[in-house]
Amino acid sequence: MEEIRSSLAPDTPVEVWFQDEMRVGQKNKLTYRWARKGSRPRATHDQRTQSTYLFGAVCPELGTGAALVLPFCNSEAMQLHLNEIASKVSPGAHAIVILDQAGWHGAKELKIPHNISLMPLPPRSPELNSQENIWQFMRQNWLSNRVFKSYDNIVDHCCFAWNTLIDQPWKIMSIALRDWAYIGRSI
């Protein structure tokens, strides 16, 4: 992070963002639910296979985020998501986007927006990416234990879940803020 900060103009505010993507579809995950002791609540589990991808990124310090629901997961989709993140970065600020090393995250054809720097995490370390915790929270609260009627229904649920999360900035802060990734803004 210091290397990135040293390349910026002095007093440039820096935002730390966490980025990842998740697949959401008809063959969805089941999660635990509260139930009376001794009972075994039923949960429906769809065997159809339509799905979509939710590309998401959060800035825990500001309690904000940027997301796109896309039908594919590749470098073209990643470019769209980087452009979306860039549009959400505070004016005059620079974002350090922490992400895993998926192939499309470092594709040569990506054109990184001028107000973003990418910082890949070490291999096989999803526990360092707090966006993974955001996904877990969204699945537990809005996206699991359901049967989606159609592809459009999957997209609608993803949009609802993300917009509900974004309307709760304190939730993003409490789930995703990491001491080691906190820079503090110099405004």
Q: What is the pLDDT of residues 91-148, one digit of tens each?
A: 999 999 999 998 899 899 999 999 999 999 999 888 999 999 999 999 999 998 788 8
pTM over cut 0.95: no
Q: Residue 12 sits in a domain of what CATH number?
A: 3.30.420.10
pLDDT of residue 186: 42
- Which of 112, 168, 107, 116 shows the shortest CA–CA distance to 137? 168
Instruction: Look at residue 92 and tell me if it is in a domain.
Output: yes
Rg of the Cα atoms in the chain: 18
Instruction: Look at residue 125 and tell me if it is in a domain.
Output: yes
Instruction: Look at residue 71 and tell me if it is in a domain.
Output: yes
Backbone angles phi, psi at 97, to 5 degrees: -100, 115
Tens digit of each residue's pLDDT (9 = 90 or more) over 35-70: 788 887 766 666 656 789 999 999 999 999 999 999
Domain extent at residue 70: 2-25+46-181
Instruction: Look at residue 34 and tell me if it is in a domain.
Output: no
Instruction: Look at residue 31 and tell me if it is in a domain.
Output: no
Q: How many domains does the chain have?
A: 1
pLDDT of residue 157: 96
Strand runs labelled E in the chain: 14-25, 51-59, 64-70, 94-99, 116-120
Instruction: Look at residue 168 and tell me if it is in a domain.
Output: yes
Instruction: Look at residue 36 and tell me if it is in a domain.
Output: no
Rounded to whole angstroms, the Cα distance separating 94 from 123 reads 25
Instruction: Look at residue 145 and tell me if it is in a domain.
Output: yes
Q: DSSP per residue over 71-95, as a string?
A: S--SHHHHHHHHHHHHHHSPTT-EE
pLDDT of residue 83: 98
Tens digit of each residue's pLDDT (9 = 90 or more) over 159-182: 999 999 999 999 999 999 988 776
